[in-house]
């Protein structure tokens, strides 16, 4: 329970009181539970998406997609007090500054309270991509499952980063506390748990669950995880280790990748390759089925 409270304290604005003294053992267990925090956030955002879709739709007209998408992404940002977006901005500024002054200069820029041009551009485009991808997913009736899968996979990136051998970039801060603190066994359990929940979310989706959505959800988790690992290797090589800003940036970038995959439409042969039925009810009424041009 101490680890669960710590996870919500560190990753959300929930009024949950954490332990009086935070050590690496509790912090590691809290980071292992990060996908559970993502599940709760994803459920809340999905409810907002569903509520706005129902309340803004009118008989005989197309369902609203942009407004629910903006509200869902905004809720994630508000529920995390913009922590991950702030980390993304600092990470972008640090990577941009490294070209001019090396690793130490990059870390110094990341610790500064001001946001630079690189950070502003990164946040703007990442948020736009998230909103656009979620809006596209809503259009093809995969909005709720996409919200759940993306929120969980984004936090899974934190768990896997803290389970890696990557050191802390500097001796102070969240990175120093959680780097290497998650046991490999816990990270594997977290990954399998997210895959299982993604499959269930796809199978019993609000818009009509089916095998297509279940398979897509699991593949989205795998692709988002693979991209997060590649990004982590790149950032650690550039900065020399993990920081709290790196973890926040991984959350946002992994969320983008997952939402993009959930929104995309793929050719029949690729869906059949993964065992999904391209003619299932994964699109809106009137979409072409197998054998017809898309």
**Rounded CA separation 119/27 (Å):** 28
- What is the pTM assigned to this prediction? 0.87
- Tally helices (H) and strands (E) across the chain: 12, 0
pLDDT the model gives residue 39? 96
What pLDDT score does 189 carry?
96
Write out residues in the chain with pLDDT < 50, as ranges: 277-294
Query: Which pLDDT value is given to residue 271?
Result: 56
Q: Is 242 helix (H, G, I), strand (E, B) or coil?
A: strand
3-state secondary structure of 168: strand
* pLDDT (0 to 100) of residue 283: 42
pLDDT at 154: 96
Q: What integer pLDDT is reported at residue 284 of this predicted model?
A: 40
Cα-Cα-Cα-Cα torsion 173, 177, 180, 183, nearest 10 degrees, comes to -140
Which among 129, 142, 125 has a CA at the least distance from the CA of 265? 142
| pLDDT score, position 289 | 39
């Amino acid at each position: 329970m101490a680890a669960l409270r710590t996870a919500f304290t560190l990753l959300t604005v929930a009024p949950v009181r954490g332990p009086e003294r935070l050590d690496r053992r509790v912090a590691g267990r809290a980071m292992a539970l990060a996908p559970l925090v993502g599940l709760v956030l994803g459920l809340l955002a999905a409810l907002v998406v569903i509520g706005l879709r129902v309340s803004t739709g009118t008989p005989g007209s197309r369902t609203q997609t942009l407004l629910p998408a903006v509200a869902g992404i905004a809720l994630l940002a508000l529920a995390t007090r913009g922590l991950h977006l702030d980390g993304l901005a600092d990470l972008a500024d640090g990577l941009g500054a490294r070209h001019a002054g090396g690793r130490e200069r990059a870390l110094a820029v990341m610790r500064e309270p001001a946001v630079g041009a690189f950070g502003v551009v990164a946040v703007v485009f990442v948020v736009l991509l998230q909103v656009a991808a979620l809006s596209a997913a809503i259009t093809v009736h995969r909005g709720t499952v996409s919200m759940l899968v993306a929120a969980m996979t984004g936090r899974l990136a934190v768990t896997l980063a803290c389970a890696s051998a990557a050191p802390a970039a500097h001796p102070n801060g969240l990175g120093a506390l959680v780097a290497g603190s998650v046991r490999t066994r816990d990270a594997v359990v977290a990954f399998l748990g997210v895959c299982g929940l993604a499959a269930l979310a796809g199978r019993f989706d609000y818009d009509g669950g089916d095998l297509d959505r279940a398979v897509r959800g699991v593949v989205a988790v795998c692709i988002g995880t693979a991209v997060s690992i590649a990004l982590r290797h790149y950032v650690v090589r550039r900065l020399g280790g993990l920081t709290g800003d790196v973890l926040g940036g991984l959350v946002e970038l992994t969320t983008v990748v997952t939402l993009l995959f959930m929104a995309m439409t793929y050719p029949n042969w690729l869906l059949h390759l993964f065992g999904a039925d391209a003619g299932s009810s994964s699109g809106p009424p009137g979409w072409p089925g197998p054998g017809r041009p898309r």
